[in-house]
A = this chain, B = another copy of it.
Amino acid sequence: MKKFTAVSDVENLQEIIKKALEIKANPLSETEKGKGKTIGLVFLNSSLRTRLSSQIAAQNLGLNVLTLNAAQEAWNLEFADGAVMNGDTVEHIKDAIEVLNQYCDIIAVRCFAGMKSKEDDVNESILSQFEKHAKVPVISLESATRHPLQSLADCITITENWKKDHKPKVVLTWAPHIKPIAHAVGNSFAEWMQEMDVELVIANPEGYDLDPAFTKDTKVIHDQDEALKDADFIYVKNWSSFDDYAAMPEVKGDWMLTNEKLESTNNAKVMHCLPVRRNVELSDEVMDGENSIIYQQAKNRIFSAQAVFSEILDSI
């Protein structure tokens, strides 16, 4: 694997899920693989799970880890090509990347959507600079439109929790929130589920359809109750409007996932990428209930990262 920013970078999804599960069974099986090599973990945004799971995964592989909280620890970055840098920005992202090229064997970066310019976000204005200027493999720790290490962890978690012969029904359901949230997790989950042997349904209010470039021919239903019926897995996530970019059109009914809503499902497992706003996106009873596999997902972030780092190390 030469880079990891989307499901299209994975040659064989089933193989990498299998590898991740082998790593989970034996996380210290490749402690020499990364010896003498350095991974730079560059955070342009907050992180708990991604930060810690990536550090653990890298340590398990013997990699040196450089963690950089770019905004707080380094310099205010300029992103515009050709900018006359006579304002607040001190270092061009191009130059920061070229320096990281000198110091790292792998560059991993978190660069959320700015949620201001639809064009910038859709075009991955930051990640694209890493993809263009990096001379070493680039790994996304969540970008404007995707969160692939999360999605791989989601695939691992569904695989662990589904032993039946038939395809599970997987429902990605929109959840309420109090401010405009990016589309990355929703997009990415859709994109990865389309590669899995599942029946994917997306439920969201009118006005909240995700970018069709990601949902493709996935069935989108605007009635949550209908969508949840007979679900085997429910993935809860908020996102703002894509069409009217970052807007929050009025929503009819209450989309918060509750135990009552689980009743019509096939005793569905509940998933969420975290952090979650309790009693807004889903109720305490769901979060703390037996159907939740949310912390298992969080744990699988380690093995998702470790499988990817390991495959990237194979290529360098």
Contacts and interface: CB of A to CB of B under 8 A. Distances in A.
A99 interface: yes
Given A43-B73, A69-B72, A279-B82, A96 B295 contact: no
Interface in A68-110: 68-70, 72-75, 78, 82-87, 90-92, 95-96, 98-103
Interface stretch (A50-58, A184-192, A218-226): A50-58
A66 B74 contact: no
A291 to B, nearest CB: 15
A212 interface: no
A149 interface: no
Contact of A68 (B48, B74, B276): B48
Nearest to A279: B84
A52 to B, nearest CB: 5
A85 B278 contact: yes
Interface in A56-70: 56, 59, 64, 66, 68-70
A52 B103 contact: yes
Given A36-B28, A103-B299, A75 B48 contact: yes
B51 A74 contact: yes
A48 B83 CA distance: 21
Given A46-B74, A47-B73, A103-B299, A276 B91 contact: yes
A83 B43 contact: no
B64 A280 contact: no
Interface residues of A, number: 56
Q: How many copies of this kind of chain does the complex include?
A: 3
Contact of A103 (B53, B178, B287): B53
B90 A277 contact: yes
A278 B43 contact: no
A38 to B, nearest CB: 6
A253 interface: no
B56 A75 contact: no
Of A82, A275, A284, most buried by chain B (CB within 10 Å of CB) is A275
A102 B99 CA distance: 34
A297 to B, nearest CB: 9
A178 B86 contact: yes
A74 B48 CA distance: 5
A298 interface: yes
A224 B90 CA distance: 24
A28 B276 CA distance: 42
5 contacts: A47-B74, A48-B70, A48-B75, A52-B103, A95-B278
Interface of A: 28, 36, 38, 40, 43, 46-49, 51-53, 55-56, 59, 64, 66, 68-70, 72-75, 78, 82-87, 90-92, 95-96, 98-103, 178, 274-280, 284, 287, 295, 298-299, 302
